[in-house]
Homo-oligomer: A and B are copies of this chain.
Amino acid sequence: MVTFVSVLKYEQLKVNKALEQELAAMPAPLRDIVGHVLMAGGKRLRPLLTLLSARLFGAEGPQLYELAVIPEMIHVATLLHDDVLDGAESRRGRKSAHLIYGTAPAILAGDALLAAASHKTASFNIPSLLTCVSEAVLMTAAGEAHEIALQGSLSHSLKEYVDIVAGKTGWLLKGSCRLGALYAGASEEQVEAISEYGLNLGIAFQIVDDALDFADEAVTGKPTAGDIMEGKYTPPIMKYVDFLSSGEREVFREKFRNGTFTDEDRVRIAADIRRLCFDAEARAMADQYIDKAQACLDALPRRFEQKVFREALDFVRNRKS
Contacts and interface: CB of A to CB of B under 8 A. Distances in A.
Contacts of A85: 103-104, 107-108
Interface residues of A, number: 48
Contacts of A127: 122, 124-127, 130
A152 interface: no
Contacts of A199: none
Interface string A107-123: 11111101110110111
A84 interface: yes
A215 B182 CA distance: 55
Contact of A137 (B29, B115, B142): B115
A108 B131 contact: no
A56 to B, nearest CB: 24
A138 interface: yes
Q: How many copies does the complex hold?
A: 2
Nearest to A80: B107
Contact of A134 (B105, B108, B118, B126): B118
A131 B141 CA distance: 22
Given A145-B105, A148-B102, A81 B121 contact: no
Which interface residue of A86, A130, A144, A149 has the most chain B CB atoms within 10 A? A130
A157 B111 CA distance: 27
A45 interface: no
Contacts of A139: 27
A8 interface: no
A133 interface: yes
A145 B114 contact: no
Interface of A is mostly: helix
Contacts of A144: 104, 108
A116 B137 CA distance: 9
A108 B141 contact: yes
A205 B125 CA distance: 34
A139 to B, nearest CB: 7
A291 interface: no
A146 interface: yes
A27 B115 CA distance: 20
A30 interface: yes
Contact of A111 (B123, B126, B137, B148): B137
A89 interface: no
